[in-house]
Amino acid sequence: MGYQRRTGSCSRRLFCFPNSAFTNPPLAVTRSGIEPTTTWQEPPHRVEPVAKEPPPKENPMAKKLLEDNLSKQLASLMPRITEDVELIYSLDERDASADLKQLLEDIAALSDKVTTREDADAHERKPSFTIARKGTDIAVTFAGIPMGHEFSSLVLALLQVGGNPVKEDEELLDAVKGLDGEYEFVTYMSLSCQNCPTVVQALNAMSVVNPRIKHTAVEGSLFQDEVNDKGVQAVPTVFLNGEEFVSGRTDIADFVHKLDTGAAARDAKKLNEKGEFDVLVVGQGPAGAAAAIYVARKGMNVGLVGERFGGQVLDTMSIENFISLKYTEGPKLAAALEDHVNDYEIDVMKAQAATGFTPASEQGGVHTVHFGDDATLKARQVVIATGANWRLMNVPGESEYRNKGVTFCPHCDGPLFKGKDIAVIGGGNSGVEAAIDLAGIVKHVTVLEFGENCRADDVLMDKLNSLDNVDVITSAATTEIVGDGKSVTGLKYTDRTTDEEKSLELSGVFVQIGLLPNTKWLEGSGIETSGPGEIVVDDHNATNIPGVFAAGDCTAIPFKQIVVAQGAGANAGLSAWEYSVTGGKK
């Protein structure tokens, strides 16, 4: 969302990949841990750190990654380390090894609780380092240099291994502690991926809570041969005990659900035991958060349930038209939404996907939302704000090669296709912006547009046309994704002007053809939807079913923007409150 850029590409920042790897935003302490912030916020009860004397001598060949301002911010967090921590590193002859050594020495200089030690045999991958709590099995490992988006992962791991408590629901942490067996996780990530830190930080925290869980985060750009051998063509991708386990944004609750066979039954029991809500908001994106807050401010009993807090905003890299914020990023805005929601008495239920809806049998009755086979939540009023998701081409090979060359996030996955030929499907703003971003990394980009002309803004088309390694093919209908069984090797398309079948040899396909509403779970419920499945609402965001409202990208509003969704969510929340007061009478 925001600036109509919900593809993960960089809005109005046409060259975001090459120089972004070592760009680190200031840090702030939040309820969820360490978060980037545009303005440094001093943590409460700041204690001035005592620096080691003398400071380490800098390697003249190494880059100084920990700039003075960032070093000062990190120093203010060091008093939170209460246990002795050792940074154990293994190096090779690459420049990155010298950079890593300098970074670790600079970090260690900020606290007497932190020391460094080189051990050539400690890691097979080089450069790598482990953050270990001395005298224990508690440790996390990074292969590469966790800067960029991953710098917050480094800081959080340092604090958690150093004794700072993992900030998560106690019941969820107990489930992590109770996991039986030995788990060896490896996460392949890129420094420009905004979804990767969620996965890296989740597994790092799990390994601190349960030492039987081991985790290594691998920076793909420094270990390209390994990435290619594993067939990794999307990040984050997680391997468990040598086998591919999961790909995409995954948090602690998601991992527990996948590892603990009894978790789903326990969650269903918890949902079924909840009482009836005045208002239940389904969906935790901007529209859902706004609706929940406005209802809670009226003193009503409100529940907020969804698959992931922030929704599609989490997949957005750059937001430049959220009024009052000149620039922010999706994960940061999502964290702010959650933080705001937590200021109210709202029952937040995460990692729950609605699977069905049964409307009340009579006006003023109780509506039922279904989750899986056995769980339900009930409410007098319901606000549906389940957003939208990537629109698929629905051609042969697309699903077979998803995350094996077919992908949707240029900012996350672009670095994996460095030096390769790729295609972008779609000539709208999102597609053209993706092509511009990718052109700075890959060997060649081909944009395929179904229509006679690309639909992107003129300023974007001017930039696209200035690039030497980009071709645009219009009137092109993609008909098949071709692969060798392991990864994409090309695609086929029809020239709509001549009906001629043509093909392209390439390694990746980035699909940028718009969105579809997440409303399939409403089929058979009687809620009126449009042709694409968007929910039809009136000016009060009311559906055709009394007591049921809807807001955001799942509705038939013409503009899919964050600020529009939030306004609609507020409208739906106020309308639900009004309905409870008047009984639907106007």
Domain boundaries, the chain: 68-260, 271-389+517-582, 406-513
d(CA 408, CA 415): 13
Q: What is this structure's pTM?
A: 0.75
Higher confidence at residue 192 or residue 38? 192
pLDDT tens sequence across 365-417: 999 999 998 999 999 999 999 999 989 999 999 999 998 899 988 878 888 89
Pairing of strands 302-305, 277-282: parallel
User: HSE on the CB side for 374, CA within 13 Å?
Assistant: 8
Query: For position 17, what pLDDT does the model report?
Result: 31
pLDDT tens sequence across 315-336: 777 788 899 999 998 889 999 9
Class for domain 406-513, per CATH? alpha beta
- Which pair of tokens denotes residue 367? 């509506």
Q: Which of 54-58, 90-94, 122-126, 429-433 has the lowest mean pLDDT?
A: 54-58
Q: What CATH architecture applies to the domain 68-260?
A: 3-Layer(aba) Sandwich (3.40)
pLDDT tens sequence across 28-58: 545 445 554 433 333 333 333 334 445 444 5
d(CA 415, CA 213): 28
Query: For position 61, what pLDDT does the model report?
Result: 58
d(CA 209, CA 215): 12
Per the CB < 8 A criterion, the answer to whether 101 and 130 are in contact is no
Residue identified by tokens 């009136």 is 538
pLDDT tens sequence across 69-100: 899 999 999 999 999 999 999 999 999 999 99
| pLDDT bucket at 59, cuts 50 / 70 / 90 | low
Topology of the domain covering 271-389+517-582: FAD/NAD(P)-binding domain (3.50.50)
Is there a common fold for 68-260 and 406-513? no
